[in-house]
Structure 1
């Protein structure tokens, strides 16, 4: 029950719905126990006692009771559903908000499909138990308790003979719960893996088809699906083992009832109507006990789901606003890295080692180096997507931890190498970081990013609806919209992470010319593989294995016989070869 105790903040606010549902459940349970009493009166008084004048009254009373029970059942189910639906509404919102607050470090190890499974299947599993499981447990207690009281009223000895098997059913139910919970936990985890496999395949379908790997992906899916099937079969085996056993024990109780009860009727200790009523009451006890397996089933699924949901809700938030955060409206853009070292995982080699540089306001810093050299790590630390392992990062003389996260990131415009666009209009995508931007400002951002012309050629211009991840646009078009989005926020610090990698050299030149205007007065960090993008930088940092191995202007670095000069020579030779081939 610890899981439900930890999640109580999501369902306790709606306890009124639950309490009213429970009250109507009491009415339903009371009426249910009245049935055998009416049956006993009909047999003993009307049939055997020949009190036929009771028939209209008993019939009228029975119809009235049925109407009350039907109405009470409807209200009880409605309120129970409301209790569950409202509870998981809060829970689902809390999960989504938590995912927004978790740092990149959490997502480095998380799988998209598994997270989707938690927000859908696991939340739904928890809802079903909250809506019906709690009520079923109360129904069990109330109905069994009321039936037992009536049975004791009719015959104490027959009650004890009938219920002598009850401890055996309880022990079996306990063992069933112990066996089925880990089985359901395995099913939930396997379902998350299955979702992950489907999500990865759909996201990478172009790569799969381009390399003709459909058969390989089908085989991999079959393997994951096989694990999921095995987990389900294991759970089915547990169910098949314990539920028939509980039913067998219940039927033994019925045999004992008919044998000893029939003997009491022959001896005149018990009336025939009382025996018939007793038989009905026994099933009002036995069926809830045997259906306890279904309730345990529901409870185990909800418990397993709750554990997986708590893993998200209780995940540590490593990036957050500290107590000493001071609100500020604007940054000057003076960025300083002081002896910064960073590990993605502590046991791994450092992604950055003792990085130190000083970027004055309005300056442009170029970052170049091989893949994995640490370029992207620097800008991720600057935006506080991660915290440095050692060292300090200052903006305008203050550690970045002293700035409010929201304010800090709105002052930093980022254009990532891997462009992401939302399934919305182009206008909404450009204004995503600044929803209050006017249409004139959106168009101006589009023009500066050299995106306005191709946008106006689309059927609906800036109101054109994009497909998932910007489907329908070329890589270069998507990158130019991403640049327009960064420009629209009017940031103090601008980060361009290889932002022109997906455009041709002519478009790159046009964008670079436009960015020269945009970069004025802004501290800009440019990550690029093409030296042509870095020529005008105030300082270029050449990185290798997380270290700055060279630094200086383009002219200084090309005059040295170092790594930058070798990169420049290779790129120049490649361009010269292309030109020579074109001339021929």
Structure 2
């Protein structure tokens, strides 16, 4: 019922379209039902009269029929065109709601899911739902009208024949309900399997450069073939069930004709039925059977749409684990004092904590560097500050305010992040830099590019700032992409900076330029730097060495060299060529 209520709610903005569609459906059904009645009237009342009476009546009937079918034309046009438009609008609304909800879900949700699977829900599933949204009510409504209407008329023509007919119809209904139950899990499996195909395609194409560099096209083909064959197997099973379903229903429909012909012949032999009435009765049988066919065919569409909508609702009912708390206030007038108080964090409840009881104070305007072996929790520690993940226990504050008590938007607007894995959007260089500040002027974008030491390179391009970067910035080098991402942060101009290996992809010359720019940007701002290249953090106010056992060393560059600990060991490995 919850799924049904959700589905019906999407009709509300388009009630006028829906009711008009249903009105047109009534008119079309009424016209279809009236034709055999008109034919019966002509056979039994008009065609037995004289020539002149027949000609006068048939002209009036012909004009009336023409008017009816002109009306049916406009109604049919509305049903097919605006009915589908209504379905498309509902699909658009569902896609908007799904995309909006996906934007709210935290990193932990995406850590466990593939983009291709989510794309399948946004595209393939919603198309099936759109078709169901349009055809579902319309097919059901028209079919019920025609079945009930023709049944009533058939009863007036011959009660005994119609009762015999209703027994076969009851068998069809019971059989259809049973098969419908059988098909439901099969079509749900179809949706899962096609999602895996999409997932396989997305994964392989996104990593096409890695695939080709290792000459592993054969491996990718096998992986794709596995998911593709699994989908084929699922579809084959579904079509076998559908084949039996349609074949049996076709057989039952044949039984309806057999019942009519046999019982009708008996009545004619007994003189209780005229042959002309049997002909009209058979016309109504066609009207009676046609909606049954529609409902049988609709079963497949319903199962696809229902399975898709169920998957759609599953995502919408996934509650964001990171969201604004009731009464959360914007973070304003930020100085930049940061404190981690006994912070622990684990990605899964079952796993041990990546961070365990970490306490750390960073004064406003300080530059703090985090160093240590991979897996020690440096990036995780930084990811907790903008609430990309939620702390398992403990508290993080900015200027004494618990970050869980302020709005997410204001918190994240206050923090600029340059990540090690740079992501550029499909579009121009200007659009990618402007992502750092909505509504930025061209002058501001150019100034940010200059500070990031990328302006001269952009100016040398034929299309300058309008140059297309390609998917994920594929047309740019690693260093160029990194500098564009740094330009974004210059443009954003936040009071708190997180630099996660911000200069890792730069050559030595570019690194010197960028390092100078970053030091300028860090003036009077709180800056957290994650670095493996220790040359970039010599001037940090404090260097913190983090291992999987927590914080092991703290101090400035000179102090850490003097204690001959982990930092000194790493430093000598990089600059004196010592082996670890």
2:341 is the alignment partner of 1:312: no
Post-superposition Cα deviations, 1:551-577, rounded to whole Å, max 9, x if no partner, equal 111111111221111111110123x99
1:24 corresponds in structure 2 to 24
2:6 corresponds in structure 1 to 6
Give the 5 Å matches for 1:236-247: 236-247=239-250
The separation in 2 between residues aligned to 1:146 and 1:431, in whole angstroms, is 63
Structure 1 residue corresponding to 2:54, chosen from 52, 55, 60: 52
Partner secondary structure for residue 16 of structure 1: helix
State TM-score, norm by structure 1: 0.96
Quote the offset at 1:47 in angstroms.
Answer: 4.3
Partner secondary structure for residue 348 of structure 1: coil
1:417 corresponds in structure 2 to 420
Quote the offset at 1:48 in angstroms.
Answer: 4.9
Give the 5 Å matches for 1:420-431: 420-431=423-434
2:496 is the alignment partner of 1:493: yes
2:141 is the alignment partner of 1:138: yes
2:236 corresponds in structure 1 to 233
Post-superposition Cα deviations, 1:235-288, rounded to whole Å, max 9, x if no partner, equal 001001111111111111111111111222333322322211111111222232
The separation in 2 between residues aligned to 1:67 and 1:273, in whole angstroms, is 28
Quote the offset at 1:35 in angstroms.
Answer: 1.4
Structure 2 residue corresponding to 1:223, chosen from 207, 221, 226: 226
Give the 5 Å matches for 1:96-245: 96-245=99-248
The separation in 1 between residues aligned to 2:150 and 2:238, in whole angstroms, is 32
Deviates more, 1:170-179 or 1:58-67: 58-67
Post-superposition Cα deviations, 1:136-155, rounded to whole Å, max 9, x if no partner, equal 01111111111111111111
2:480 corresponds in structure 1 to 477
Is the contact between residue 143 and residue 294 of structure 2 (CA under 8 Å) also seen in structure 1? no
The separation in 2 between residues aligned to 1:208 and 1:214, in whole angstroms, is 6
2:569 corresponds in structure 1 to 566
The separation in 2 between residues aligned to 1:58 and 1:266, in whole angstroms, is 33
Quote the offset at 1:546 in angstroms.
Answer: 5.7
The separation in 1 between residues aligned to 2:507 and 2:411, in whole angstroms, is 33
2:533 is the alignment partner of 1:530: yes
The separation in 2 between residues aligned to 1:135 and 1:396, in whole angstroms, is 60
Is the contact between residue 377 and residue 546 of structure 2 (CA under 8 Å) also seen in structure 1? yes
Deviates more, 1:390-399 or 1:58-67: 58-67
Partner secondary structure for residue 7 of structure 1: helix
Give the 5 Å matches for 1:386-425: 386-425=389-428
Is the contact between residue 17 and residue 82 of structure 1 (CA under 8 Å) also seen in structure 2? no
Is the contact between residue 364 and residue 538 of structure 1 (CA under 8 Å) also seen in structure 2? yes
2:379 corresponds in structure 1 to 376
2:84 corresponds in structure 1 to 81
Deviates more, 1:1-10 or 1:98-107: 1-10
2:40 is the alignment partner of 1:37: no
The separation in 1 between residues aligned to 2:110 and 2:10, in whole angstroms, is 25
State TM-score, norm by structure 2: 0.96
1:275 corresponds in structure 2 to 278
1:581 corresponds in structure 2 to none
Is the contact between residue 44 and residue 271 of structure 1 (CA under 8 Å) also seen in structure 2? no
* Residue ranges of structure 2 left out of the alignment (5+ in a row): none
2:451 is the alignment partner of 1:448: yes
2:526 is the alignment partner of 1:540: no
Structure 2 residue corresponding to 1:506, chosen from 502, 506, 509: 509
Post-superposition Cα deviations, 1:181-206, rounded to whole Å, max 9, x if no partner, equal 11111111111110010001111011
Post-superposition Cα deviations, 1:349-399, rounded to whole Å, max 9, x if no partner, equal 211111111110000110112221101101110011111001100000010
Deviates more, 1:520-529 or 1:269-278: 269-278
1:71 corresponds in structure 2 to 74
Quote the offset at 1:11 in angstroms.
Answer: 1.9
Post-superposition Cα deviations, 1:40-88, rounded to whole Å, max 9, x if no partner, equal 2333334455663333233223222222222221123333223212222
The separation in 2 between residues aligned to 1:366 and 1:212, in whole angstroms, is 40
Is the contact between residue 184 and residue 303 of structure 2 (CA under 8 Å) also seen in structure 1? yes
Post-superposition Cα deviations, 1:414-465, rounded to whole Å, max 9, x if no partner, equal 0000001112222221121212223222222111111112111111222222
Quote the offset at 1:39 in angstroms.
Answer: 2.3
Partner secondary structure for residue 293 of structure 1: helix
Is the contact between residue 330 and residue 411 of structure 2 (CA under 8 Å) also seen in structure 1? no
1:15 corresponds in structure 2 to 15
Post-superposition Cα deviations, 1:77-123, rounded to whole Å, max 9, x if no partner, equal 33322321222221111111101111111111111000000000111
Pairwise CA RMSD of aligned residues?
A: 1.6
Give the 5 Å matches for 1:456-467: 456-467=459-470
| Moved beyond 3 Å, runs of 4+ | 45-51
Is the contact between residue 366 and residue 541 of structure 1 (CA under 8 Å) also seen in structure 2? yes
The separation in 2 between residues aligned to 1:319 and 1:382, in whole angstroms, is 13
The separation in 2 between residues aligned to 1:425 and 1:274, in whole angstroms, is 74
The separation in 2 between residues aligned to 1:352 and 1:16, in whole angstroms, is 57
The separation in 1 between residues aligned to 2:296 and 2:305, in whole angstroms, is 14
Is the contact between residue 339 and residue 390 of structure 1 (CA under 8 Å) also seen in structure 2? yes
The separation in 2 between residues aligned to 1:78 and 1:210, in whole angstroms, is 49
The separation in 2 between residues aligned to 1:65 and 1:270, in whole angstroms, is 30
1:582 corresponds in structure 2 to none
The separation in 2 between residues aligned to 1:49 and 1:295, in whole angstroms, is 45
The separation in 1 between residues aligned to 2:151 and 2:157, in whole angstroms, is 10
1:521 corresponds in structure 2 to 524
1:292/1:2 Cα in 2 relative to 1: closer, same or farther (>3 Å)? farther
The separation in 2 between residues aligned to 1:376 and 1:264, in whole angstroms, is 87
Deviates more, 1:347-356 or 1:474-483: 347-356
1:252 corresponds in structure 2 to 255
Number of aligned positions between the proteins: 576
Is the contact between residue 4 and residue 306 of structure 1 (CA under 8 Å) also seen in structure 2? no
Deviates more, 1:72-81 or 1:128-137: 72-81
The separation in 2 between residues aligned to 1:25 and 1:71, in whole angstroms, is 11
